[in-house]
Structure 1
Amino acid sequence: MLLTLGMLGWELCLLELLSGGFGVPASALAPRLARDAMLLFPLWLVALWSTRPEKPRDAAALSLCFLLLLLPVAAGRALVQRSQARPSSSEAAEGQAVSATTRTLEDEGRFLCATVNADVSAVSPEPANDSLVATAWTGMRDALLLQVPVLPLTLLLLRRRSRPAASEARAATPALGPLIFLGLLCGWSSDGGPPAPRVSSPLEREAACRPGAPVRTYSVAAISVDLPLNAHGDHQPQGLMYVLEERLPAVREQERRPWPERTAPGLHGEPIQPLVLRANLGECLLLHFTNRLATGPAALRIEGLPATVRGRGPEGGFVPGTAVPPGQGLTYVLSLPESAEAEGTYLLHDSEEGGAREARGLFGALVLEPAGAVYSDASTGEPLRHGAGWEALIDVPTGEHFRELVLLYHALGPPEAADVRTASGAPLPVLDEMAGPFRTGAFGVNYRSEPRFDREELLPEEHEQRPASRRGLATPALRSYLGEPVRLRIAHAGSAEFHVHHLHGGNERRGGGEPPRLLSPGRGQTLRLGKPGDFPRAPGSFLVHCHVPNHFTGGEWLEWHVFSARQPGLAPLPSPR
């Protein structure tokens, strides 16, 4: 019993050291400790029965026996937790925001043996995936942390056991210490009543959000990825991206596909795409950010929105835009504005000077939707589980429904810096046109690029190897039905070069199409289209591109398909109220 109490006390010390402090009610902490005691106590019984220690010199054997018992048990517990931690689809109460990505563990339980899990972002280096092996290893790693006090505890108790019997009663008196210590800690912040409603963690309780504001949470990581550009096999091998934590295994799976299968026409539902998050006006937005790059710092900056940043660092905290080293994380807390004028697109990007990491893909977008909006999948019409993606159907309780399409124009750098390669690893060619030299494939939309040059002349082998069936455009295919409201969100991401969004509508001299839109670095615009009398006025396919000549030739172009009849894989907007 004393050994078990000593281990629970050590877990509480780990909780204090690794999770940022207490403030945890007994109603949340005590059940977890009780589950751990039920796990540890029988292990100690087996270890004591196996070694039958009598003298202090037996402490090493007892410690080793306990460790050998604990490792498989902790690994098995981690696998059980992994299966139980999968996010489940649940409906929120009316008027409440849904957590966009379910956090699998509460912070106060994160380092207790009973809640080991593969996602221990505050102490773990970048996890390559969410495999069974990685999860089991996380459980064993936490077991090694728990093993630290075992030898000192066993030495202390065996030394006292070896004393004369007359002193045993006096020696047992200090054993009340762990009981008193445990009781005080379990009573921390407890008033004896039911637990108060919580947001998600002590970090959120400290946030400067409006009282009663709905809370929306995303868990985001910065990762390295081989970014595919098109079906030709062009790619950016040293790419970077932001990704939802729960989507990381899907990204790695797409990254392992053979080149002909790594992209699909239209960019519908592929895991490797820029991170586009959504939140509603007036909500409290929590972005849990983790740097999962192998080397180098990373940050998550929200351009144009103030944020409070919480985290543990050398000076006890962070300021907005501060980068964190690999394996560490922090939480951005944003009290989103309530004014309807704040609706629109805000760039997510790294804080690095010069934008080299942004040019490699470390950017995304946060779209602020009307208050109370509900998001649906543009392909199926089902609720949008992650709350993320470049296309969605937006249901506004007090307004009209609309289809939302998000385009992020970006440049991968000047010709001497843009690391854009063919499937064979050769650099894509440099062309010199009216605006100067540029590397083909160095300009894209939503991580995809369709450079326009003579591949048969410059890359004959590459052209012959590519299957003809895979020649559909990999850039985003905009889709809508004639007459439905569309909000096209366009934004500038990446380098300091300007982009000019232009939508062609057939005969430009007769007023088809839209005027060009200049995009400044880091800025976004919303174009409201689709209503009767607006563009498009008829079904068909229309060209969308960057009006800068080199950008168009370099890969920044796509198509918008407007349909008059129901199409498979394209959900219509709900009927107007």
Structure 2
Amino acid sequence: MGREPTALEAAAFVPDPQPGEAFTKVAPPDAPVRRYDLVVTNGTVHYHGDPSDEHAATWHDHNAHFYVLADEIEEAGGLEEFKRQLAEGERTLEPLVVRANKGEVLELALTNLLPAGPQEESAFDPKLPFQPECGLHTHLVKYDPLISDGSAVGWNYLSATTTADQGAEANAKYNSWTYRWYVDEDFDAVLLHDHLLANHRQRHGLFGTLMTEPEGAVWVVPDDHEQELRHGSQAVIRTADGASHREMVLAIGDFVPMVRHGHGDHGCPVNPPPFPGAPDDQGAMGVNYRSAPLSERGGDPAHWFSSAVHGDPGTPLLRGYPGEDLRVHLVQGSHDLQHSFTLSGARWREWPGREDTAWRNQQTLGISNVAELALAPTLGPGDHLWSFSAGNDLWLGCWGLLRLYDRPQTDLPPLPGRTTGAPLRPARRRVRRHTVRARAQVVEYSPLRTDPYGLVFTADGEDGPEEGPLVLRCRAGEWMEVTLVNELDGPPPASPLDPRLMNEADTGARTVSGRVSLHPTLLDFDVRTDDGAHVGRNADTTVKPGASRTYRWHAAEPGVVLLRSHADVISHPRRGLVGVLVVEEADATPYDPVTGRERWTGERAVVRRPDAEPVRELVLVTQDGLRRYHDGDLTQPVTDLFSDSPDDAGQKAYNYRSAALHPLDPVLSDPQPPTPLLTCRAGDQVAVHLAVASHRMRNQCFTVHGQVWDASETGLGWYVSTIGALASGSTRTVRFRAQHPGDHVYRTGNLHWGLSEGWWGLIRVEETP
């Protein structure tokens, strides 16, 4: 505690008090102890670019805050030398990741080497007259809350460290603090962060991760399984039963105060707030203190993710082999925004190890959230794109590669007992074929709101091309062969009044790709040939104007598959190049609800199975970040009435249609909104398939008035009336038996910027048979 205890304090101590554990005994007396000596300090961290290349553009945080092992400071030759190596790019840094076994006591000694005295004003930060203490706060583990919480709560002690010359004496005794935590369970990832000036320091990167491992596990360096790993975001974990898995930690931070150097910029702030200290959306983003901004990649957006064109991104390169046990752990260390993670060609259970929970290909995160993604062993060789998939996340560089090799690499030993090579796929005996066309089209979202710059997918039906949105169907167990025809004449023009992205100066100068693609979620396929993207070292599987390409995907399980054009992840989805594939049960057949004919396309269907009730299906594709115009007049963009925030700007729609509650729209006086209508009868089984093709970072929720449904596949219980945490890339199915005749509203739960902008419609339950 930095001083001798008083007599009253000493009388309240537990027997045999330890540093960080004075008033509450948190662990059994024989629990093994693992110790880390940590330092908190600051310096220059390079998020993007090579600082040694004077011709390259680089993005930095010159006042980055971070935790680091004390040994690394010593090995570098002292603190100043450590900071010099960082600033000149001789040393790389990532958020601290340490590990402990279940049943261990974790003893962390934190020394505060942050600068003393006031902090000068910057484009992002106000001047601080002094810098308060810094601590180490965590979640989930057990500790004595009076002295190991890393914060200042109620009457508890201030369990933090001060800089040396802020204390009563300039002595390390007064600028160090020991925390004692007991890992009583295998918690997966646990966030570490400062709790004394979090609003400032976490934006600058002051967070880390404690990975809690099973009892008896050991962790080794991925490229040398004989070398114990001290710390790091990637590890091979060997468990007591002889099994091994690869552990990969990706920690995202936003509102990062960065400056840009190069190409005419000399310390130019990246997306600064209107004044220092303002709470507006600001700064940039990074994953593990790295980013690959798309604005710096340049050229045709179809090739932004290509290593052949631009080289590998500087973000974390995850590596392994097909068939290995791969586990991706997500952490959001800062600061304000919501994020959505996707991984091409992969899927995982909603809850690891729970076979009764649904397959997912998307994970929603908010501040301090963590998640474990235990990837199904269905991934083949090639470069799989991992990304935080909303538009601003991608634009600011939160993406990278999972590279799986088809043969052993000298610098990456395979896990014991694993064979390399492509996974076996079922023979293509059951094939369903669709033809999809991409074309430019004026999209009429409502009688008074249109997008003259619209791009749409349409499916060929029996009577010719069907109007969007694109909805395809197949059966589980079938192969899909989807031929995409690009009917564009060339690169479409950018809309000069599009809602801007963070750090985007002029949307009218934005390059829009003329290439298109169909990129699916959840399905099994070879990412090298059928991903609908140009990623890493893979071939370019986008389609140029006037050409066509056939994609081959295997639908292993029933579910909802989001389809998007990955030829331009910024402009294409918000222009309308989105769709859905519904994978029905293996014995199901969809019929047109009007004609009664068998039909494998369309947003509505009646699905029949032998010895089962028919199900009335409605597919809803959620869109946002749109720019619409009054009556198609390019001088009259629809105003964003409710927000100028990049989280919310732009209009919303379901399936190219919007029921916006706007004074100029006649929706309220109409008997029926323009959004999709599902008609059914009381007692009918209903399925609403949701595919969130949204461009914005703001999370969503979905409800149906007067209905509840079974949510057991989420592991959350039996009945709910609302589902939340829906973000870009989410897919869900809501199933219920229609109750009570009348019009039931389906809608978002976000009222002032979602419902008002048109995210609602009707399910009409009729009394007649």
**Bucket of the pairwise TM-score, normalised by the shorter protein:** 0.5 to 0.7
Q: Which amino acid aligns with 1:374?
A: V
Q: Find the counterpart in structure 1 of residue 369 from structure 2.
A: 523
Task: Confirm or deny that 1:347 pairs with 2:191.
Answer: yes
After superposition, the C-alpha distances for 1:314-370 in whole angstroms (9 at most, x for unaligned) are: x9x9948743211312111111114xxx43101101103562200101000001111
Once residues 102 and 157 of structure 2 are traced to their aligned partners in structure 1, the CA distance between those partners, rounded to angstroms, is 21
Aligned 1:306-385 pairs, distance under 5 A? 306-308=142-144, 310=147, 319=156, 322-327=159-164, 328-338=175-185, 342-352=186-196, 355-385=199-229
Q: Find the counterpart in structure 2 of residue 501 from structure 1.
A: 341
Q: Find the counterpart in structure 1 of residue 89 from structure 2.
A: 262
Once residues 498 and 306 of structure 1 are traced to their aligned partners in structure 2, the CA distance between those partners, rounded to angstroms, is 28
TM-superposed CA distance for 1:398, in Å, is 2.4
Task: Confirm or deny that 1:491 pairs with 2:331.
Answer: yes
Q: Contact conserved, 1:420 with 1:442, CA < 8 A, in 2?
A: no
TM-superposed CA distance for 1:474, in Å, is 1.5
Aligned 1:300-311 pairs, distance under 5 A? 300-308=136-144, 310=147
TM-superposed CA distance for 1:382, in Å, is 2.6
User: 1:355 aligns to what SS in structure 2?
Assistant: helix
User: 1:243 aligns to what SS in structure 2?
Assistant: strand
Q: Which residue, 381, 392, 411 being the options, matches 1:550?
A: 392
Aligned 1:176-325 pairs, distance under 5 A? 208-231=26-49, 232-249=57-74, 250=76, 255-257=83-85, 262=89, 271-295=92-116, 296=131, 297-308=133-144, 310=147, 319=156, 322-325=159-162
Q: Which amino acid aligns with 1:554?
A: L
User: 2:286 aligns to what SS in structure 1?
Assistant: strand
Q: Which residue, 232, 235, 247 being the options, matches 1:404?
A: 247
Q: Which amino acid aligns with 1:329?
A: S
Q: Find the counterpart in structure 1 of residue 267 from structure 2.
A: 426
The change in CA–CA distance for 1:245 and 1:429 in structure 2 (over 3 A counts) is closer
The change in CA–CA distance for 1:323 and 1:478 in structure 2 (over 3 A counts) is same
Scaled by the length of structure 1, the TM-score of the pair is 0.53
Q: Contact conserved, 1:310 with 1:330, CA < 8 A, in 2?
A: no
Aligned 1:431-510 pairs, distance under 5 A? 442-454=284-296, 472-505=312-345
The change in CA–CA distance for 1:557 and 1:318 in structure 2 (over 3 A counts) is farther
Q: Which amino acid aligns with 2:403?
A: H
Q: Which amino acid aligns with 1:278?
A: R
After superposition, the C-alpha distances for 1:81-119 in whole angstroms (9 at most, x for unaligned) are: xxxxxxxxxxxxxxxxxxxxxxxxxxxxxxxxxxxxxxx
Q: Contact conserved, 2:147 with 2:158, CA < 8 A, in 1?
A: no
Q: Find the counterpart in structure 2 of residue 390 from structure 1.
A: 233
Once residues 335 and 204 of structure 1 are traced to their aligned partners in structure 2, the CA distance between those partners, rounded to angstroms, is 10
Once residues 95 and 157 of structure 2 are traced to their aligned partners in structure 1, the CA distance between those partners, rounded to angstroms, is 22
The change in CA–CA distance for 1:506 and 1:398 in structure 2 (over 3 A counts) is closer
Once residues 100 and 200 of structure 2 are traced to their aligned partners in structure 1, the CA distance between those partners, rounded to angstroms, is 28
Q: Find the counterpart in structure 1 of residue 543 from structure 2.
A: none
The change in CA–CA distance for 1:362 and 1:325 in structure 2 (over 3 A counts) is same
5+ residue gaps, structure 2, are: 6-15, 50-56, 117-130, 165-174, 274-279, 300-307, 348-358, 419-769
Once residues 414 and 163 of structure 2 are traced to their aligned partners in structure 1, the CA distance between those partners, rounded to angstroms, is 43
The change in CA–CA distance for 1:290 and 1:258 in structure 2 (over 3 A counts) is closer
Give the helix-richer structure, 1 or 2.
Answer: 1
Q: Find the counterpart in structure 2 of residue 6 from structure 1.
A: none
User: 1:356 aligns to what SS in structure 2?
Assistant: helix
After superposition, the C-alpha distances for 1:120-162 in whole angstroms (9 at most, x for unaligned) are: xxxxxxxxxxxxxxxxxxxxxxxxxxxxxxxxxxxxxxxxxxx
TM-superposed CA distance for 1:448, in Å, is 0.4
TM-superposed CA distance for 1:543, in Å, is 0.8
Q: Contact conserved, 1:321 with 1:351, CA < 8 A, in 2?
A: no
After superposition, the C-alpha distances for 1:444-465 in whole angstroms (9 at most, x for unaligned) are: 10000111115779xxxxxxxx
User: 1:293 aligns to what SS in structure 2?
Assistant: coil
TM-superposed CA distance for 1:565, in Å, is 1.2
After superposition, the C-alpha distances for 1:45-86 in whole angstroms (9 at most, x for unaligned) are: xxxxxxxxxxxxxxxxxxxxxxxxxxxxxxxxxxxxxxxxxx
After superposition, the C-alpha distances for 1:386-418 in whole angstroms (9 at most, x for unaligned) are: 2x10000000012621110000011134xxxx3
Q: Contact conserved, 1:500 with 1:548, CA < 8 A, in 2?
A: yes
Once residues 320 and 105 of structure 2 are traced to their aligned partners in structure 1, the CA distance between those partners, rounded to angstroms, is 31
Once residues 514 and 381 of structure 1 are traced to their aligned partners in structure 2, the CA distance between those partners, rounded to angstroms, is 31
Once residues 543 and 456 of structure 1 are traced to their aligned partners in structure 2, the CA distance between those partners, rounded to angstroms, is 18
Q: Which amino acid aligns with 2:199?
A: G
Higher relative contact order (CA 8 A, sep 6+): 1
After superposition, the C-alpha distances for 1:279-329 in whole angstroms (9 at most, x for unaligned) are: 011111111112110122211101233322659x9x9x9948743211312
Once residues 352 and 248 of structure 1 are traced to their aligned partners in structure 2, the CA distance between those partners, rounded to angstroms, is 24
Q: Contact conserved, 1:438 with 1:550, CA < 8 A, in 2?
A: no
After superposition, the C-alpha distances for 1:368-395 in whole angstroms (9 at most, x for unaligned) are: 1111100100122233242x10000000
The change in CA–CA distance for 1:225 and 1:484 in structure 2 (over 3 A counts) is same
The change in CA–CA distance for 1:405 and 1:454 in structure 2 (over 3 A counts) is closer
Q: Contact conserved, 2:110 with 2:161, CA < 8 A, in 1?
A: no
Once residues 393 and 69 of structure 2 are traced to their aligned partners in structure 1, the CA distance between those partners, rounded to angstroms, is 29
Q: Find the counterpart in structure 2 of residue 539 from structure 1.
A: 381
Q: Which amino acid aligns with 1:247?
A: E
Task: Confirm or deny that 1:569 pairs with 2:411.
Answer: yes
Q: Find the counterpart in structure 2 of residue 9 from structure 1.
A: none
Q: Which amino acid aligns with 1:304?
A: L
User: 2:142 aligns to what SS in structure 1?
Assistant: coil
The change in CA–CA distance for 1:252 and 1:566 in structure 2 (over 3 A counts) is farther
Q: Which amino acid aligns with 2:84?
A: R
Q: Which amino acid aligns with 1:284?
A: V
After superposition, the C-alpha distances for 1:417-464 in whole angstroms (9 at most, x for unaligned) are: x343326642255499xxxx976x71110000111115779xxxxxxx
Once residues 212 and 450 of structure 1 are traced to their aligned partners in structure 2, the CA distance between those partners, rounded to angstroms, is 47
TM-superposed CA distance for 1:571, in Å, is 2.7
Q: Contact conserved, 1:378 with 1:570, CA < 8 A, in 2?
A: yes
User: 1:494 aligns to what SS in structure 2?
Assistant: coil
Once residues 568 and 318 of structure 1 are traced to their aligned partners in structure 2, the CA distance between those partners, rounded to angstroms, is 57
TM-superposed CA distance for 1:506, in Å, is 9.3
The change in CA–CA distance for 1:399 and 1:525 in structure 2 (over 3 A counts) is farther
The change in CA–CA distance for 1:356 and 1:372 in structure 2 (over 3 A counts) is same
Q: Which amino acid aligns with 2:241?
A: T
Give the strand-richer structure, 1 or 2.
Answer: 2
Scaled by the length of structure 2, the TM-score of the pair is 0.40
Cα RMSD for the two superposed structures: 3.9
